[in-house]
Amino acid sequence: MVVTIDGPAGSGKSTIARLLAQRLGFAFLDTGAMYRAVTLAALRRGWTEAEAAALAELVPHLHIAFDGQRTWLNGEDVSQAIRRPEVTAAVHLAADNPHVRQRLVELQRQHAQGKDLVTEGRDQGTVVFPDAECKFFLTASRQERARRRWDELRRRGAAVTLEEVLAEQDARDQRDASRAIGALRKAADAIEICTDGLSPEDVVARLEAIVRQRQAAATAAI
């Protein structure tokens, strides 16, 4: 069974997806981490936006792996490095590249083979797993999403203002919505849930109940 969780940055999908996978005993896939890993590799090579078109040539030389909590790039734990502000600011270089997206979509589908999986991103229910048995679309207000991101960055020691986070988020939202391939949009059969005012536990409990209902219905139909 594949469960997809899509939504904009700061909607809580990464946290919710990881917790939901744990509750269900499913594997977890953070697709955003894949794009961040590609971006980190490019930045380490000193690549600039002018060289973004060549990113697709880099991907086959990267080994990206997950263990449910951490992200590994060519054997190195980069879980913290891929969350740095400079990676966030440049991740669109990978996400906007259709050849990079095509390759990573292939890897995401390979990762799902033979597994019960919870996967999160921007296009999981629309492009990567259009036939997923259960789809969710998480939202939150613009201000709440920025506040969550700001709190996260401050915990990591980043010196950034809420206004800067909000401006970066607005720019990212615009890019995500206008992307030619893999644009952020809600799948027609996805269940939308606003996470404003809800704890992660509240959201996970709601999603878990829906997934288990669908599991029971599928079992009864056999």
Burial of 219 by CB count in 10 Å (0-12 exposed, 13-18 middle, 19+ buried)?
exposed
The pLDDT score that the predictor gives to residue 148 is 87
Residue 96, both tokens: 């906007």
Q: Model-level pTM?
A: 0.86
- Beta carbons of 125 and 182 less than 8 angstroms apart: no
- Beta carbons of 96 and 63 less than 8 angstroms apart: no
The pLDDT score that the predictor gives to residue 88 is 87
Query: SS3 of 48, please?
Result: coil
Q: What is the mean pLDDT of each run of 10 residues along the chain (222 residues)?
A: 93 92 95 93 86 83 85 94 89 87 91 94 94 96 90 84 90 82 88 93 96 91 78
Beta strands in the chain (DSSP E): 2-6, 27-30, 64-66, 71-73, 76-77, 117-121, 134-139, 191-194
